[in-house]
Chains A and B, each alone.
Chain A
Amino acid sequence: MRKIAALYSGVSYQHRSWNEPKYKKFLSAILYVPELTESSFDEFDIIIVPSRLHTGLMERIKPWVRKFADNGGTVVLFWPQSSDSECVPLQNWENRPTNFWWWLDKDAKSGLELRLPEHNLFNYLTLEDATWHYHGVFWPPAGAEVLVTTEDNGAILYVDKVSSAGTWVVTSLDPEFHYGSYFMPATERFLDGFFPWLAEGEH
């Protein structure tokens, strides 16, 4: 099993998500972000950067996160909240108005589509498990594997092995926020599949 560290900034929803026993068993460490140093990630294979991180904290750790990927590590990044804090190389973020209510429409359609159904991740979770609202899309670099998109091909979830020596798993979804805030059941199904894939799957 790969060694995974989840970053944590003292916020209740991260606390719940990372400490839930069925997810915690996949984590080797929960790292408190304000106390991170340049070498904090050295011993891990994967780090998970939570969504909505305080923008100042994100700025501070950004070079270390990038260095970790450049040295061959895998970085998982949930919705980074703001285009100001471009953590991911070549992410090309585009803000989109969030439709929290798509599923109330008569012909409910989330607008999300599966691009690479043969990808190993989909042995662990389905498109429905990755379907709730999103806050924007990425236009990742050529060569990145785009797994889930909007109808106009904006990336919701992609895996980028071309921008660094390591792997960037980037998504505009924010499952740990919703699960940790006690709502939106799809987010639990997403995490139920995502953690085992991270720990043992092919990526």
Chain B
Amino acid sequence: MMQNKNILLLNSQSVGMGEVSVQHNFSELDMYDFPQANLDSKIALIIQGSVDQELMLKNKEKIRKFADSGKVIVFGGHLFLPWLPGASFFVPKEVRSHKDYDISIINSHPIFEGVDTYDMTYNKGVAGFFARGHHPIPEGAEVLLTLPDHEPIVYIDRVSTDGTLLVSSGNALLNYQDPNRTTGQITSRLVEWIHNEYAQLQKRSVVQ
């Protein structure tokens, strides 16, 4: 596994959705230590759905500054407070049938290459494990995954800050490591994507 100490995972000290038994080698920080933390050596920040959003709101400027310094933020969860640049509040899906949860890859992307979206939508034949709603996107964002009525459930935003945000209305994509499923590579590809994206952002800031 790649060394990922320069990626910081905010720890909520809580067992939330898709956060169970995640294997990783990121740096970790208790979320309540975030206000005092020095983030200079970090290239990316991963924030999960069980985060204290009141705390995030109080640290909104710090989060924006981090992105604006040409860095990457990954968030997966349900936003209900305005702390993530460019992002809107979570809109739950009105569900009439399990098909309403079906995920489509709308724009091919290395993170989801070779993934059978059935494996994201269903677990043992039960639907709805990934996303049960969406966050409306900022203009110019790149949508990767959608629900059947085109609701964007994973998007990449390179317009709202001088960095890059990956926003998911499901989980933060950290728990896809089962080699027996087509989804098994998602987590390692996400990490690879973070490194590449950071390298691109740095190149861009040198050119400017």
Contact = CB atoms under 8 A, between A and B. Distances in A.
A10 interface: yes
Nearest to A181: B17
Interface stretch (A48-56, A119-127, A138-146): A48-56
Nearest to B78: A12
A81 B20 CA distance: 12
A12 B90 contact: yes
Given A81-B15, A182-B92, A56 B80 contact: no
B177 interface: no
A10 B55 contact: yes
A7 B52 CA distance: 13
A151 to B, nearest CB: 23
B49 interface: yes
B51 interface: yes
A52 B16 CA distance: 8
A15 interface: yes
B14 interface: yes
Contacts of A101: 124
Interface in B88-132: 90, 92-93, 124-126, 128, 132
Interface string A159-188: 000000000000000000000011100000
A34 interface: yes
B59 to A, nearest CB: 12
Contact of A34 (B32, B92, B125): B32
B30 interface: yes
A131 interface: no
Nearest to A59: B13
Contacts of A56: 13, 30, 32
Interface in B3-42: 12-17, 30-32
A190 B98 CA distance: 22
B124 A54 contact: no
B157 to A, nearest CB: 20
Interface string B159-176: 000000000000000000
B79 interface: yes
A12 B55 contact: no
Nearest to B54: A10
Contact of B32 (A15, A54, A104): A54
Contact of B132 (A32, A34, A55, A182): A182
A11 B53 contact: yes
B50 A183 contact: no
Interface string A76-117: 000001000000000000000000010010000000000000
B32 A12 contact: no
A182 B91 CA distance: 11
A9 interface: yes
Contacts of B133: 182
Nearest to B11: A54
B70 interface: no
Given A12-B49, A12-B77, 13 more contacts: A11-B53, A12-B90, A52-B14, A54-B12, A54-B31, A54-B32, A55-B13, A55-B14, A56-B30, A57-B13, A104-B126, A182-B78, A183-B132
30 contacts: A10-B52, A10-B53, A10-B54, A11-B12, A11-B50, A11-B52, A12-B49, A12-B53, A12-B78, A12-B79, A13-B78, A16-B80, A32-B54, A34-B52, A34-B54, A52-B14, A54-B13, A54-B14, A54-B31, A54-B52, A55-B14, A56-B13, A56-B30, A81-B14, A81-B15, A104-B126, A181-B78, A181-B132, A182-B78, A182-B132
Interface of B: 12-17, 30-32, 49-56, 77-80, 90, 92-93, 124-126, 128, 132-133
Interface of A: 9-13, 15-16, 32, 34, 52-57, 81, 101, 104, 181-183
